[in-house]
């Protein structure tokens, strides 16, 4: 039922990022348990799974924002998990990372946010050219003209699009998306999905998306990996996942609550017994 | 019980190790940032936020310290007919101990709290991870400018506190107690030398570094949520306060020993 070795059995394009036997503990809590994943170059890999299953922890390991408890992380065949922060800084410029809430710098304007990685990594001399770069990056996400806005003035969807423009500021080879559609309405979610596809198509980037939005996953994925309790329990294309025999995979993709969860709800009492009237507290 | 105590001890040792590593990286990175022109605009911004905006409150603190000392010490000295020595007592207390320590405590509250809250909020909203993800070392970008600004400005602010403390003490002595101003200043000049002022100012470098490193560390390791940020600010202030007092004691001992090496007979002559 478990098909975690599928990556080794089938012929795949070369891996640009790879984690091997990755285990992560936070104190006594085991979050990732011996996970091995190869991210194929130029493809879109979607990591799905219920909340708290370790998806975000896994994607943060890909650029070593979190260090593994054991196991290794490779980028273009070179091991990176043991590098110093200074050495990692150079590696990370090959990646763009869209954070769940955008993580835009509140004290900077939209243009300054997009300029941030450029100014930090290059000695900028031609400011007119840089302004054009910012304009072009914003045009990609459909927000040209918002250069002087502060993040607080933007809607949730706009913030994510600005964060995406910032993520692609350094022309990365790999873009990592952490829950890109969470908190957005269906239309805004679809705009983000279209942007993911557009960037993959036009820039030829490798994409990794963490999500529990199955509509988004089916739309953008070349390959879907499912995590459950820190382990990889499914790996394949959209059809493979749709027809996967594992009951947890079927429950998740169909949005059905499991018998175990229902049993817990039944055991913890009825909703009626939790109701009260004001006179219950009055003498 | 013993198991819990052991686990707590191990955790405390681990935390101390993390703090030591963070402090070492911060100092090391700040030293390298001194020669990087890119850091200067960031340091200027912090100089404005830390130095300029803190100056009024530090000056008020210094003035009240001097005035209170005058009120408290007058009766004791007057009882012995030594009221003209009030200036020596006030000024030596202000420049050597109370000015530096109270100015640093005020800075720990005003600046340290703001640093922890700002960096803590950036931490819980993943902005620090965002800095790292874009190939920038957050210690260089966020900690070094704050550490350099605190290092440079705490001694300056201590001088402000000292000056206002001296003026405050003198005004109360002259206006309220009618002490002869000439005798007051002559005896003060005799009792307080540059060494005393220098010791107080040098303490400022250590206090400033401690406030910046502790506050930034607490911000970087802040737990999630409003409660986490609030708790980090409280811990930053309490830790800074204890470190200021501990450093003050250590520097007092060291400065006394140095003084006795270079001027072994001065106290006898004086």
| Residue B5 pLDDT level (bands cut at 50, 70, 90) | confident
Q: Among the ranges A61-65, A181-185, B260-264, which has the highest mean pLDDT value? A: A61-65
| Residue A13 pLDDT level (bands cut at 50, 70, 90) | low
Q: Which two tokens stand for residue B8?
A: 């707590």
E strands present in A191-257? 206-210, 223-228, 231-236
In this model, does residue B257 exceed pLDDT 80?
yes
pLDDT (tens digit, 9 = 90+) per residue, A257-268?
777 777 777 776
Burial of A112 by CB count in 10 Å (0-12 exposed, 13-18 middle, 19+ buried)? Answer: middle
CA-closest candidate to residue A14, choices A33, A39, A37, A36 = A39
Q: Catalogue the long-range contacts made by A268-277 (C-beta closer than 8 Å, 24 or more residues apart).
A: none
Rounded to the nearest integer, the mean pLDDT of chain A is 87
Give pLDDT, residue B37.
81
pLDDT (tens digit, 9 = 90+) per residue, B169-189?
999 999 998 888 888 898 888
Question: Residue A221 to residues A207, B55, B215: CA-CA distances in angstroms?
Answer: 9, 57, 44
CB B177 within 8 A of CB B73: no
Across the interface, which of B126, B133, B139 has its CB nearest the CB of A92?
A: B133
Residues comprising chain B, all counted: 270
d(CA A26, CA B223): 14
Give pLDDT, residue B266.
62
Interval B192-215 mean pLDDT: 92
Interval A200-222 mean pLDDT: 91
d(CA A153, CA A174): 29
CB B120 within 8 A of CB B218: yes
In this model, does residue B132 exceed pLDDT 90?
yes
Chain-chain contact of A105 with B136 (C-beta, under 8 angstroms): no
Residues of B in contact with A92 (CB under 8 A): 132-135
The SS3 call for residue A54 is coil
In this model, does residue A210 exceed pLDDT 50?
yes
Give pLDDT, residue A283.
62
**What DSSP character marks residue A13?**
P
Across the interface, which of B125, B132, B135 has its CB nearest the CB of A101?
A: B125
Interval B90-115 mean pLDDT: 92
Q: Where are the domain boundaries for CATH 3.40.50.300 in chain A?
A: 6-94+173-281
In this model, does residue A6 exceed pLDDT 50?
no
d(CA A155, CA B137): 29
Chain-chain contact of B132 with A92 (C-beta, under 8 angstroms): yes
Q: Does A93 touch chain B (CB under 8 A)?
A: yes
Give pLDDT, residue A5.
43
The pLDDT > 70 percentage for chain B reads 98
d(CA A141, CA A155): 14
Give pLDDT, residue B267.
56
| Residue B52 pLDDT level (bands cut at 50, 70, 90) | confident
| Residue A124 pLDDT level (bands cut at 50, 70, 90) | confident
Give pLDDT, residue A10.
47
d(CA A96, CA A136): 17
Q: What angle do CA B249, B255, B260 make, to 5 degrees?
A: 130
Chain-chain contact of B134 with A121 (C-beta, under 8 angstroms): yes
The SS3 call for residue A82 is coil
CA B234 centroid distance within chain: 17
Identify the CATH homologous superfamily for domain A6-94+173-281. P-loop containing nucleotide triphosphate hydrolases (3.40.50.300)
Across the interface, which of A85, A106, A117 has its CB nearest the CB of B134?
A: A117
Strand partners, A37: A19
Q: Does A92 touch chain B (CB under 8 A)?
A: yes
| Residue A225 pLDDT level (bands cut at 50, 70, 90) | very high
Q: Which two tokens stand for residue A45?
A: 């890999």
Q: Which residue of B has its CA nearest to A164?
A: B130
Q: Which residue of A has its CA nearest to B133?
A: A92
Handedness of CA A153, A159, A163, A165 (dihedral sign): negative
Chain-chain contact of B137 with A93 (C-beta, under 8 angstroms): no
Q: What angle do CA A81, A38, A183 make, to 5 degrees?
A: 85
Handedness of CA B149, B155, B159, B160 (dihedral sign): positive
Strand partners, A45: A208, A223
Interval A201-222 mean pLDDT: 91
Chain-chain contact of A170 with B127 (C-beta, under 8 angstroms): no
For residue A63, which phi and psi values (nearest 5 degrees)? -115, 20
Beta-carbon pairs below 8 A across chains A and B = 59
Across the interface, which of B126, B127, B133 has its CB nearest the CB of A63?
A: B133
Chain-chain contact of B134 with A170 (C-beta, under 8 angstroms): yes
Question: Residue A64 to residues A61, A182, B67, B100: CA-CA distances in angstroms?
Answer: 4, 23, 56, 42
Report, in angstroms and rounded to the nearest whole number, the Rg of chain A calculated over CA atoms. 21
Give pLDDT, residue A69.
94
Domain ranges of chain B: 2-252
Interval B235-251 mean pLDDT: 95
Across the interface, which of A93, A95, A99 has its CB nearest the CB of B129?
A: A99
């Amino acid at each position: 039922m478990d098909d975690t070795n599928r990556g080794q059995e089938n012929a795949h394009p070369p891996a640009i990022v790879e984690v091997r036997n990755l285990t992560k503990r936070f104190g006594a809590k085991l979050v990732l348990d011996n996970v091995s994943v190869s991210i194929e170059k130029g493809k879109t890999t979607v990591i799905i799974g219920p909340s708290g299953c370790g998806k975000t922890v896994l994607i943060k390991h890909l650029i070593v924002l979190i260090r593994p408890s054991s196991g290794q992380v490779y980028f273009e065949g070179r091991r990176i998990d043991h590098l110093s922060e200074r050495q990692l800084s150079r590696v990370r410029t090959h990646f763009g990372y869209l954070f769940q809430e955008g993580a835009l710098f509140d004290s900077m304007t939209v243009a300054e946010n997009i300029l941030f990685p450029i100014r930090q990594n290059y000695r900028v001399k031609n400011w007119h050219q840089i302004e054009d770069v910012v304009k072009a990056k914003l045009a990609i996400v459909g927000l040209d003209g918002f250069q002087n806005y502060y993040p607080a003035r933007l809607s949730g969807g706009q913030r994510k699009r600005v964060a995406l423009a910032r993520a692609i500021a350094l022309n990365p080879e790999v873009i990592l998306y952490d829950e890109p559609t969470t908190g957005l309405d269906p239309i805004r979610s679809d705009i983000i999905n279209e942007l993911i596809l557009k960037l993959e198509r036009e820039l030829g980037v490798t994409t990794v998306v963490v999500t529990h939005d199955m509509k988004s996953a089916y739309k953008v994925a070349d390959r879907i990996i499912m995590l459950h309790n820190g382990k990889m329990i499914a790996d394949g294309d959209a059809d493979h996942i749709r027809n996967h025999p594992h009951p947890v995979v079927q429950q998740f993709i169909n949005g059905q609550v499991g018998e175990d969860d229902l049993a817990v709800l039944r055991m913890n009492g009825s909703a009626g017994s939790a109701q009260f009237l004001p006179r219950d507290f009055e003498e | 019980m013993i198991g819990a105590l052991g686990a707590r001890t191990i955790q405390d040792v681990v935390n101390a190790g993390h703090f030591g590593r963070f402090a070492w990286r911060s100092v090391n990175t700040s030293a390298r940032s001194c020669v990087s022109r890119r850091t200067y605009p960031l340091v200027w911004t912090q100089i404005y936020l830390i130095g300029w905006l803190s100056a009024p409150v530090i000056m008020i603190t210094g003035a009240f310290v001097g005035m209170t000392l005058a009120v408290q010490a007058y009766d004791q000295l007057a009882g012995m007919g030594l009221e003209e020595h009030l200036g020596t007592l006030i000024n030596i207390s202000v420049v050597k101990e109370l000015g530096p320590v109270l100015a640093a405590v005020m800075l720990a509250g005003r600046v340290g709290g703001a640093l922890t809250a700002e960096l803590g909020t950036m931490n819980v909203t993943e902005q620090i991870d965002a800095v790292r993800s874009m190939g920038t070392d957050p210690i260089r970008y966020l900690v070094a400018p704050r550490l350099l600004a605190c290092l440079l400005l705490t001694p300056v602010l201590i001088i402000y506190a000292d000056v206002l403390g001296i003026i405050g003490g003198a005004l109360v002595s002259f206006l309220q107690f009618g002490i002869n101003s000439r005798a007051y200043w002559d005896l003060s000049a005799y009792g307080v030398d540059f060494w005393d002022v220098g010791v107080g100012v040098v303490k400022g470098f250590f206090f400033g570094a401690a406030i910046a490193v502790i506050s930034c560390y607490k911000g970087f390791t802040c737990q999630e949520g409003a409660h986490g940020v609030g708790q980090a600010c409280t811990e930053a202030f309490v830790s800074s306060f204890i470190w200021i007092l501990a450093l003050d004691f250590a520097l007092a001992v060291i400065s006394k020993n140095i003084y006795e090496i270079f001027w072994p007979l001065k106290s006898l002559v004086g």
